[in-house]
Amino acid sequence: MCDTLVALSNSTKNGAVIFGKNSDREKDEPHVVIRVKGEKHEKGKRVKCTYIEIPQANETYDCILFKPSCIWGAEMGVNEYGVVIGNEAVFTKENQGKESLLGMDILRLALERSKTAIEALKNIVCFIKNYGQGGKCGYKKDLRYHNSYIIADFKSAYKIETADRLWAIKKIEDFDSISNSLSITDDYDMLSSDLGDTFEYKNIIGREKYNFKDKHENKIIARIAKGDLRRNITYSFLNQKKGKITVEDFKNILRHHEGEGSIFNGSMKNICMHQKSIVSSETTGSMIVELINGEINIWATGSSLPCLSTYKPLWFVESDSFFYEKDLDRAVDYWKKQRERIKEVEIGKIDKAEFIKNRDDLERRLVQISKEAKTDDEKIEIMKFAWS
């Protein structure tokens, strides 16, 4: 279970586009931060995704991906052009297809091939049309689902929600959030039935509409997943802060626990989710992206439980702090090391209050020196300090 949210420049304090996402997966599944450099490819080359191969693009772009270690694709990420995408599992009445592209594969492919949010939207639509969605998405559990996405760039944001090969698109005007339930009702701009030979985003008006959520959502599973409830929490938070939203606000909401004692109960109402009791998910990684004045500022935990983790800065610079796909084992080891330290806090081996105080002090320092960084060399040194 996950939560994704975005605030456009008209809703933030400094005029940035701010995007955030928690990735909620199985507790012991490593969630790694991987950089995939841009590359030009030979004609006829194919790319192996999680289950299937598809034709490779002539050129792919530099991406920073946040992904389950066992999956080719990613839960969230950003590319060198400032296109940022997060996906959510949604549970629909439509049958699960055979092994094809996972929603996470589609996300990565769109990031690798898109210079704008609209281009990413077009790519997602084309992948769904041509290949569909299907296959086991879980780590140990045989979890299968369809997907919804928020896609943003420096100027705009969109959400697309799917039920197998069916989809609905809505342009985001101020801010929005999604969770593990469909959120588009009859307020969509465009449907899969509007697709011609090629994709062109358009807001089609003056027609009879139906309720996409009511028609396609599996209401029993959606109710168990508590997606509507968590989306209401994140959406209400953004609405209350509209016009004043900051990166710090995004950190706060991604660390949010709903109700006293919910950390220990593992409530599905939590945005920062802890795997306890019957809850089968835990926040294994968290990411925030700030797009402002041509700059891409990334804050990521690289570890579980944002309430006990530090948001550390990343930029598109040539730094040894990055893990690449060839470094997957090292990336997994990094995540596991962070998880073990968090476990020591959870079981009381490390004093929690002191740990959080030290974490907050470090985070404030990282924010300050990141604001002061002017050159790539300065950013490289900050990343080395933060991620060591």
Nearest to 239 by CA among 190, 307, 176, 154: 176
Categorize the per-residue pLDDT at 219 as very low, low, confident or very high, splitting at 50, 70 and 90.
very high
Alpha-carbon span 191 to 104, nearest angstrom: 21
Judge whether 37 and 269 are in contact, CB under 8 Å. Answer: no
pLDDT at 34: 98
pTM over 0.85: yes
- How far apart, in Å, are the Cα atoms of 101 and each of 37, 54, 207, 343? 22, 9, 32, 34
134 has which bridge partners? 97
The predicted pLDDT at position 266 comes to 63
Residue with tokens 């891409």: 296
85 pLDDT higher than 60: yes
Catalytic residues: 2
Domains defined for the chain, CATH in brackets? 3-336 (3.60.60.10)
pLDDT digits (tens, 9 = 90+) for 174-210: 999 999 999 999 999 999 988 877 788 888 877 778 8
Closest CA to 155 of 178, 172, 177, 170: 172
Q: How far apart are CA 273 and CA 253, in angstroms?
A: 12
**Mean pLDDT within 297-313:** 98
Q: How big is the CA angle at 289 (ends 346 and 71), to the nearest 5 degrees?
A: 65
Q: Quick one: average pLDDT of 330-350?
A: 96
pLDDT tens-digit map of 153-164: 999 999 999 999
Kindly report the average pLDDT of the chain as a whole number. Answer: 94
In whole angstroms, give the CA distance from residue 228 to residue 237.
Answer: 14
DSSP H or E segment with residue 337: helix 328-346
Beta carbons of 82 and 62 less than 8 angstroms apart: no
